Amino acid sequence: MRGSIKVEITPMFKQYFEIKSKYPDTILFFRLGDFYEMFFEDAETVAPLLGLVLTKREAGKDLIAPMCGVPADKSSIYIQKLVDMGFKVAICEQIEETTTKGLFKREVVKIYTPGLLTDLSALSEKEKNYLASLFIEKKAGLSFLELSCGEYIFTELKKDEILSEILKREPKEIILSKKLENSELVKIIKQNIPKTHLSFVEENFFKKEGLKNFNLEIFEFKKYEEGLKAANAILEYLKIYQPYLVDKISAPQFYYPEEFLFLDESTKRNLELIRNLWDGSEKYSLFWVLDKTQTPMGARLLKEWILYPLKDIKKIQERQEVVKFFVENKTLREELKKILRKISDLERLSTRCALKLANPKEMGLLRESLKYLPEIKDILEKENPLFFPKKLEELLKAIEDFSELYELLNAWLVEDPPTTLKEGGIIKKGVSQELDELLDLKENAVYYLSELEKREKEKTGIPNLRIGYNKVFGYYFEVSKSYLKRVPVYFERKQTLTNVERFVTPELKELENKILSSEEKIRNLEYELFLELREKVALYKEKLKTTAKALAELDVFLSLASVAIENDYTMPEITEEPIFIVEEGRHPVLEQIQGKEKFVPNSLEMNKEDATVLIVTGPNMGGKSTFLRQNALIAIMAQMGSFVPAKSAKVGIFDKIFSRIGAGDELIKGRSTFMVEMSECAYILKNATSKSLVILDEVGRGTSTFDGMSLAWAIAENLYKKRVFTLLATHYIELTELAKLYSGIKNYRVTVKEWNGEVIFLYKVLPGVANQSYGIEVAKLAGIPQEVVDRAKEILYKLESKSLKETKELTLAPKKVLQLSIFEMTNPIIEKIKNLNIEEMTPISALNFLWELKKEILEKEKREK
């Protein structure tokens, strides 16, 4: 409520203000009957965002409350929208009714924040919903909680690795200290992940002492101060917004980023590992190609494998062996996929059971999933274990026996349980004698009433005695006035009408009480029994978690095997040798879009002796960028344990992969193309090692020709001297001279064919140097008018022949009108033409350039007159 003027307010609004004051940073959904209402500032904020009508309600003397509301049974839709916008939403429920004022007791039972979602309906099936916490001192401590999957992890990083790690997991919400609110780091985070909600908290959230209940001192990670402090901030945050879950989550686990192939944020984005650069969707990404998973948990794990490829050669080979096994066993592969298709999201279902949040429908889904687990074990155990890869044996052992749990769920739950507890109809007969009696009474009320009526007719001898019901008196015996003399003394008169009188008896009252209260008693008893069942299921949480993890891995292996068969992939040889050989490699995504028969494969051979740096020249649209990207993707696929799109491949273990390709949307963020390019190159030069792979596409294009060429030369030279495997695509033909200076630098070119004055791109990458750029031909393909293309060819010819001054013929005006020779102009205009990079020009920029040049010439001519 705005201001500090004291006013008389109604009891309900007094209650509202008391509750709202405890949760000032949330939108309060205040339960009133069948609606959740929002008042005052909350209503004014939310109404336009959700398309709700803003109305008013009297809140007290001279106090009107702006308000809006949503139906309680449709509230999840609106809550999700608000959370997606970055709001926190507090759900205030009616708990019980007092008899004195008729005012419901209310309290907040749940708070939704972007990073603390557990309802399956609010979560994306194939994405994790992380809450992150970041703490910085000497190092950076980073922690993640995925509440719906039961994942609680933490690590420590160098400060320049923070963004890469955060972007891999794409948290929905990040907890930060308030002292970082105006920092450069926060600006960078907002720029790179604008949809992520940042929650700033007090410094005392970041203390490792809060984790003492987890006995972390018994682990070696107690030395990771910053990481533990970040993990504790998540726990403190949970205490405020989901306090009932604090004692139900498992201890945080430390993870070691150095165990995985390092991929920075630029590489993840530029190689389109999870999302494409076009519209940000998963379509046309590497994940889109590899995802043939049957379960949501399998899809989420596949993303993790893509973003965290392995460096341990033994672990990579163990994965390869399982993929190979399923590639070679089609029948087994298809049978397992068929069963997995029937299994729900066991990872999230088991977590909801462990957190004691699962609803009846979810428990039913858990039961159905458990039903199919024995089939998976049976199918695998039929195979000869002598031929089983070691990793597959481990997965088979990890799938636990849940026959007891399945029998329990099957005995307690009805065939098709409802979503909410309030609906009733959850527990089967035979579980509770009390419930069975109540259900029997509810279902056979008419029979019991008719039996009582029959007995009383016989006792009293009143032939037309009957039992009736109305809302005022409830059940009653009705007797016509002609038989009133036969009414026994235990009949208590309740109502007199013209022709009949109505009575009740102790037995009828007792039966009425049982019938009318049975509904509520059934609901309450079923609720209690369901909570008891959920407690029993929670005891299996660790076994369920282990099994869910094993099934997710099995799903990923089957997916990779299916993709390998469908797309004709091969198993790469993984080696410790510093070598990277790909025979007839293909781009995994482009070949799916174009069709394998249309895609032109290309080979690659890199080693530390005579091919450390490959410089690729040739025209734009000729396939340089594709060649760079496909080889980086093949390296990633190989180290995640996948087969690769090639005839054969031999891949030495890389520790890091870097890419410098394009400026993306950085221009929108206020950074120039060249600044972005140099920042990324600086990061690469600082962090690349002799075991890294670097791909650089057109380095130096964001500045003048000589500056750009000089920088590209120096960068390539530096990487070569560090023995970094580097693929560099360039339009600077001069860089090919490096191959003459260094034996480990090789030149490659993308090939073209000229036919009847036309250029045909062959998309083949071969040793050698491109002799022409064909930029004008690309402009022609892009739709530049023919007269502009012809004029450009004339200008290019003159520039290349270096005869501008001698001929005095080159002009920028049409030949039939007065011409102005370039040699008479001042040097700046000549330099503009010399520095013109036709290859890099779009049709619009080419026309703009000509227009500006013409304008400058005409102005000069006007001044000279």
Annotated binding site for ATP: 618-625
Token reading at 168:
């891999």
CA distances from 369 to 11, 334, 357, 366, 649 (A): 49, 18, 18, 5, 39
Cα separation, 505 vs 348, whole angstroms: 54
Token reading at 602:
């290309």
Residues making up the binding site: 618-625
- Got the DSSP string for 423-458? G---BPTTS-HHHHHHHHHHHTHHHHHHHHHHHHHH
Cα separation, 467 vs 457, whole angstroms: 11
Q: SS3 for 603?
A: strand
**CB 729, CB 696: distance < 8 Å:** yes
**CB 522, CB 484: distance < 8 Å:** no
Token reading at 625:
């960028």
Cα separation, 347 vs 340, whole angstroms: 13
**CB 664, CB 277: distance < 8 Å:** yes
Strand pairing class (758-767; 745-755): antiparallel
Token reading at 661:
């390709």
Place of tokens 């992150």: 132
**CB 193, CB 166: distance < 8 Å:** yes
- Phi, psi angles (nearest 5°) of residue 109: -105, -15
The alpha helices in 193-329, defined as continuous H runs, are: 225-241, 265-270, 286-290, 296-307, 313-328
Radius of gyration of the CA atoms of the chain, in A: 37
- Nearest to residue 229, comparing CAs of 177, 166, 160? 177
Q: Quote the crossing angle between the two packed helices 541-567 and 346-354, to the nearest 10°.
A: 170
CA distances from 243 to 91, 174, 541, 636 (A): 14, 18, 20, 41
Amino acid identity of residue 457, one-letter, is K
Token reading at 212:
């003492």
- Nearest to residue 797, comparing CAs of 816, 772, 824? 772
Cα separation, 412 vs 604, whole angstroms: 62
Q: SS3 for 830?
A: helix
Q: SS3 for 579?
A: strand
Count, residues in the chain: 865
CB atoms within 10 A of CB 697: 19
Q: Is the dihedral of CA 247, 248, 250, 252 positive or negative?
A: negative
- CB-facing half-sphere around the CA of 513: CA atoms within 13 A: 7
Give the angle 262-549-292 at the CA atoms, nearest 5°: 75
Amino acid identity of residue 447, one-letter, is Y
What are residue 135's DSSP bridge partners?
A: 141
- Phi, psi angles (nearest 5°) of residue 579: -150, 150
**CB 297, CB 345: distance < 8 Å:** yes
Cα separation, 550 vs 376, whole angstroms: 12
Token reading at 239:
């205490």
Q: SS3 for 695?
A: strand
Q: Is the dihedral of CA 676, 681, 684, 686 positive or negative?
A: negative
Across the chain, how many H-helices and E-strands are there? 29, 27
Cα separation, 860 vs 865, whole angstroms: 9
DSSP state of 242: -
